Amino acid sequence: MREYLKFYIGGDWVDPAQSQTFDVVNPATEEVAGRVAQGSAADVDRAVAAARKAFPAWSAAEPSARLDVLRAVQAAYEQRRPDLGAALTEEMGAPAALANGFHLDLAAGHLAKAIEVAESYAFTEQRGGTLIVREPIGVCGLITPWNWPLNQIAVKVFPALAAGCTVVLKPSEQSPFSAAIFAEILDAAGVPAGVFNLVQGDGPAVGVPLSAHPDVDMVSFTGSTRAGIEIARNAAPSVKRVTQELGGKSPNVILDDADLAGNVAKGVAGVMLNSGQTCSATTRMLVPAARVPEAIEAARAAAEQTTVGDPTGDVGIGPVVSGRQFEKIQALIQQGIDDGATLVAGGPGRPDGLAEGFYVKPTVFADVKNDMTIAREEIFGPVLVIIGYDSIEHAIELANDTEYGLAGNVAGADLEQARAVARRIRAGWVSINDGFDFACPFGGYKKSGNGREWGEFGFEEFLETKGILGYAPEEA
């Protein structure tokens, strides 16, 4: 059983201010997998003080010196990949192939991109008689979720450090093992004391004092819209910058000229990936109304081919993260049935043969109206809804008829038409035919949040802009 009973503060592993722990449950077995120290406001105070103390030297260091440290982190990260992958499978149920593959590759990609951006970034720029200076914002409180633990840590920590900020990380209490190993990696790489700090714990005990702390200059949060609202309220009295990547109910618009069966199968696979626990998952599949029967058959086949089981084995998806999440998903599946949607695949209950573990059947609904609960709420499980549209205008109207605006996809053979549709979707990240790019800005419209992550756009969230007048050339 794993035990992480210290916090990483000021370059050392230190005892928490109080002797409290919480259990981490393996979602595949429903058994306790380890114990982790529960932080408090006193631990947050120590971590913020350490970050504040380290900020002057780290922010004043040459960008090249900071990059040397991040390159050392790259090497240390590669050495710990097996440990990280095993931790992810144990703490949040990611299948081994996914945990050791895409989960780890995403974090590595964000580190490489942070280095690439910082290598050539212009921190100063003269415009006429004014010098524009971009400076690190200061001490950053980073609050990350459990669903893509390393990705969300990496997309915040690495650009923040590259920009010259110091950080205090509060990972999710449901996926704390990988975060502790991440801290070990940064320690082994020689990140200077206080530049990176880790305090484990839940939202009320650690997240609230971190987001409200007067010596924290910025809070970057990824999680639910409900929690994001509370973090913004906590941060408001100190008028600190708050960036948020929140929930989503994203559309996948399959145009009439697209390969329908192929794109439906890809859409199902994308939603089921990571047991549906992806904020940007395109969980509303919009298809031409006349072709809904074709889409149903393709979706049924794809869902039924999705294997569910022990994440240490060769399976498509493992369990969802917790019993609480399992019950929420079950209730929403039943709500879809009660509201009159047609169950195409899956449904309530665990898959056959899986009596223990928080396993959910890969589920597809058809005959869904966009005002149904299952089309409005973020289910955060392996559940897809199929909605028919009458015209491209209707498809765009349906795509935008949501309180969220995080992501979307448009599938079509005519690229000009697909691009025209993508431009009209009110979301921060819209891919065409499932495109992907580490440099593309990622973030939401509406209740999906504010600010952007990934690439140069995420890097700039950690910078302040200063104008210094008086740089006009002297007259002869």
Q: Smallest Cα–Cα separation from 135: which of 59, 233, 237?
A: 59
Structure tokens at 63: 């960008």
Query: Considering just the CA atoms, what is the radius of gyration of the chain in Å?
Result: 23
What's the rounded Cα separation, in Å, for the pair 366 and 26? 33
Catalytic residue, from 90, 91, 279, 461: name it. 279
- Beta-strand ranges (E) seen in 207-257 are 218-222, 241-245, 251-254
What's the rounded Cα separation, in Å, for the pair 275 and 319? 7
- Beta-strand ranges (E) seen in 144-250 are 166-170, 196-198, 218-222, 241-245
What's the rounded Cα separation, in Å, for the pair 210 and 171? 12
What's the rounded Cα separation, in Å, for the pair 248 and 384? 13
Say what the alpha-carbon torsion angle 409, 455, 123, 119 is, to the nearest 10 degrees.
-140
User: Which phi-psi region, left, alpha or beta, contains residue 357 (left: φ > 0; alpha: ψ -120 to 50)?
Assistant: left
Instruction: State yes or no: is 165 an active-site residue.
Output: no
Structure tokens at 95: 């299948």
Strand order of the β-sheet with 21-26 is 2-4, 31-37, 21-26
Structure tokens at 257: 């000229």
Strand order of the β-sheet with 363-366 is 342-345, 363-366, 383-389, 284-288, 251-254, 407-411, 429-432
What's the rounded Cα separation, in Å, for the pair 322 and 33? 13
Catalytic residue, from 90, 91, 173, 245: name it. 245
What's the rounded Cα separation, in Å, for the pair 25 and 32? 4
What's the rounded Cα separation, in Å, for the pair 133 and 214? 25
Instruction: State yes or no: is 279 an active-site residue.
Output: yes
Distances (CA, A) of 187 to 69, 79, 154, 384: 11, 13, 15, 42
The residue type found at 326 is F
CB 423 within 8 A of CB 445: no
- For the purposes of burial, counting CB atoms within 10 Å of the CB of 237, is it exposed (0-12), middle (13-18) or buried (19 or more)? exposed
Q: Catalytic amino acids?
A: 245, 279
